[in-house]
Amino acid sequence: MKKYLCIFLCLLFSIINVQAVDFQGKAYIVMDSYNQTVLEGKNQDYVQSVASISKIMTAIVAIENGNLDDEYEIGEEVNQAWGSGVYIHIGDHINLRDLLHGLLLRSGNDAANVIAKNIGGDITTFVKMMNEKAQALKMTHTHFSNPTGLDEEDAGNQSTVYDMALLMSYCSQNSIFNDIVMKESYKREDGGGTWQNKNRLLKEYEYCVGGKTGFTKKAKRTLVTRAIKNDVSLVIVTFNCGNDFEFHQKKYEECFEKYQKILVLPKGIYQYHGHSFLIDKDLYYCGQDQTKATLQQDDDILSVYDSKDKIYQVQKENGIQTIFRYWLILLGEFVNG
């Protein structure tokens, strides 16, 4: 009898372990940040105010257009911010590095306005830069109206969990951005104290490597996080999820158990319809089963697909250029071990 009871309990626990994590909220998405493929989600194209996760875009535009050591004098722009702040004052001097940490760790609306004014020349121009970047990243359901995420005076910054996952996946390729968002705390270079990161998941979940929190009365809770385990890098975005930190952690564990990093196509020179194409890196996708890559040529562009998603595209080159570039890649790998 005990033997059958043990077998029954083992089967029961195995069923529980593979049960999907329940989602109570408006929208969510799980995206493979390596090639921006969607693993699962709900209401992925639902558009709403996204609150302070907007500051991910504020940060990457500043990082790509500014210098971390540049020091700014705080002006009247801080008086246009309310709510969450890092309490900088008119006449203070602070560099971009400190401001970015205040922006991403403490969600400082005052820091956002100072960054926007100094990077863009004025806040309006900076917001235009944010929208141009969104278009370049193909965030087709996104529009920014400010660098903070505040939405009391208008509809705020509008986006979807899909678009915000695209943005976070893009930002995860930037070493400066990653260095900031993975910090649990930061000591200001201007001697103004230490900031603690509002992203609790950094402390509560060992595989979390960054993210951004958000909340307004209109948007409710919004949260973007990223985690890496066994070379699988995932981004999760949630809208209006009351237990968002708990959901993110449980969903990561479910997905890391379910999916693995699978090689689709090794790097090398490929001949396709008489033309040479250099795939300059090993191509992977996040999935459950092995799949074969398929190739599709459109004029001078070769696209690589896994079972359903485009994961890479490359421009046609002449044969000598292709061989030379591939030789440099192999030489670099040899030198770097």
Task: Provide the annotated active-site residues.
Answer: 52, 55, 107
For residues 216 and 51, what is the distance between their CA atoms, to the nearest angstrom? 6
- CA nearest 54: which of 258, 248, 237? 237
Instruction: Supply the DSSP string of 87-124, one letter for each residue.
Output: ---TT-EEEHHHHHHHHHHS--HHHHHHHHHHHHSSHH
DSSP type of residue 143 = B
For residues 115 and 242, what is the distance between their CA atoms, to the nearest angstrom? 31
Instruction: Supply the DSSP string of 40-72, one letter for each residue.
Output: EEESTT--EE-GGGGHHHHHHHHHHHS-TT-EE
Report the length, in residues, of the chain.
337
What is the end-to-end Cα distance of the chain in Å, rounded? 59
